[in-house]
């Protein structure tokens, strides 16, 4: 099972021996779960089109955004439209997709730039394993009761760490949008996620989905130290979490 299919999925597969083919023209990937239809979550699906059948699981708005796009028609994939908050069995784990405040994918925005939509365009994934539970929320525009409820019950929380502050992209000359306008809470500043994340009872809190402009990626930086001193980790390639 793979959660989201980023553009570099080929590199990720090569680095993860558990996902290597076990026979000619075979892949152990049977399911791809999508938490949104943003390009950085679905572009990697095109690298999985080698006539190997697999299933895509997503909330209805995410399925509609992809299924209606002819670019994805060559996929040898079936679809399972998940109902928000209803568990799905997968091997030894129980998986549940839930709605998270967000927005439609950038390529579908047009005149619809509304953020903090809570109708399934953006989702989180709750995973209940044999020994621990995990919540994965790579994109979040605001804290809803549902987001807080799911995070408060989890042993491990992976949360949207896209930007350190809301004006980061503008200040670096990388775009005109703030983090919130892109559908991402900043770590710091008014209404930032760091203080909330640090207060959760989870034994591990981890920032993921970190933009390359975010200074927390620099070991030893003041921003990195601020996050780590709050008891929150920074995800890295190859990180393994046992459930």
Q: 159 CB contacts (<8 Å, ≥6 apart)?
A: 137, 140, 151, 193, 197, 205, 206, 207, 208
DSSP 231: T
Query: Does 25 reside within a domain?
Result: yes
Q: What percent of the chain has pLDDT over 70?
A: 99
Report the domain count for the chain.
2
CA distances from 229 to 41, 43, 157, 189, 191 (A): 30, 35, 17, 17, 19
Q: Whole-number mean pLDDT of the chain?
A: 93
Mean pLDDT of 208-227: 97
Residues 116 and 224 in one domain: yes
The encoded tokens of residue 1 equal: 């099972």
CATH of the domain at 184: 3.60.15.10
For residue 123, the model assigns a pLDDT of: 98
For residue 165, the model assigns a pLDDT of: 97
Q: What percent of the chain has pLDDT over 90?
A: 75
Query: Does 230 reside within a domain?
Result: yes
The encoded tokens of residue 25 equal: 């023209």
Q: Other C-beta atoms within 10 Å of 198: how many?
A: 13
Picking from 47, 82, 117, the residue at the C-terminal end of a domain is: 82
Any idea which of 104-113, 115-124, 175-184, 203-212 has the lowest mean pLDDT?
104-113
Q: What are 193-215's pLDDT values in tens digits?
A: 999 999 999 999 999 999 999 99
In the structure, what pLDDT confidence band is assigned to residue 99 with cuts at 50, 70 and 90?
very high
Picking from 60, 82, 104, the residue at the C-terminal end of a domain is: 82
Q: 183 — alpha (psi -120 to 50), left (phi > 0) or beta?
A: left
For residue 28, the model assigns a pLDDT of: 87
Inter-residue contact 49 to 74 (CB < 8 Å): yes
pLDDT at 52 over 90: no
Residues 132 and 61 in one domain: no
For residue 74, the model assigns a pLDDT of: 82
How are strands ordered across the β-sheet holding 88-90?
A: 88-90, 93-99, 123-128, 133-137, 156-160, 204-208, 232-234
For residue 101, the model assigns a pLDDT of: 97
For residue 111, the model assigns a pLDDT of: 60
Picking from 82, 107, 132, the residue at the C-terminal end of a domain is: 82
In the structure, what pLDDT confidence band is assigned to residue 24 with cuts at 50, 70 and 90?
confident
For residue 112, the model assigns a pLDDT of: 64
Residues 121 and 158 in one domain: yes
Tell which wins on pLDDT, 57 or 116: 57
Which structural domain range is residue 57 located in?
A: 1-82
Q: What are 155-206's pLDDT values in tens digits?
A: 999 999 999 999 999 998 998 899 999 999 999 999 999 999 999 999 999 9
Residues 129 and 16 in one domain: no
């Amino acid at each position: 099972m793979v959660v989201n299919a980023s553009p570099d999925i080929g590199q990720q597969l090569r680095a993860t021996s558990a996902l290597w083919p076990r026979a000619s023209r075979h892949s152990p990937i049977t399911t791809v779960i999508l938490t949104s239809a943003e390009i950085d979550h679905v572009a990697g699906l095109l690298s999985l089109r080698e006539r190997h059948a697999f299933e895509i699981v997503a909330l209805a708005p995410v399925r509609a955004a992809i299924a209606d796009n002819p670019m994805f028609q060559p996929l040898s994939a079936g679809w399972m439209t998940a109902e928000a908050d209803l568990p799905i069995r997968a091997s030894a784990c129980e998986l549940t997709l839930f709605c998270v405040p967000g927005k439609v994918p950038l390529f579908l925005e047009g005149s619809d730039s509304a953020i903090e939509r809570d109708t399934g365009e953006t989702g989180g994934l709750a995973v209940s394993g044999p020994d621990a539970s995990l919540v994965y929320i790579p994109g979040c525009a605001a804290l809803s009761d549902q987001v807080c409820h799911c995070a408060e019950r989890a042993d491990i929380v992976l949360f949207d760490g896209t930007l350190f502050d809301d004006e980061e992209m503008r200040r670096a000359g990388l775009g005109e949008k703030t983090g919130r306008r892109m559908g991402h809470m900043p770590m710091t500043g008014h209404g930032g996620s760091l203080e909330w994340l640090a207060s959760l009872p989870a034994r591990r809190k981890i920032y993921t989905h970190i933009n390359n402009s975010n200074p927390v990626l620099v070991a030893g930086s003041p921003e990195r130290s601020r996050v780590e001193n709050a008891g929150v980790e920074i995800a890295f390639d190859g990180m393994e979490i046992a459930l």
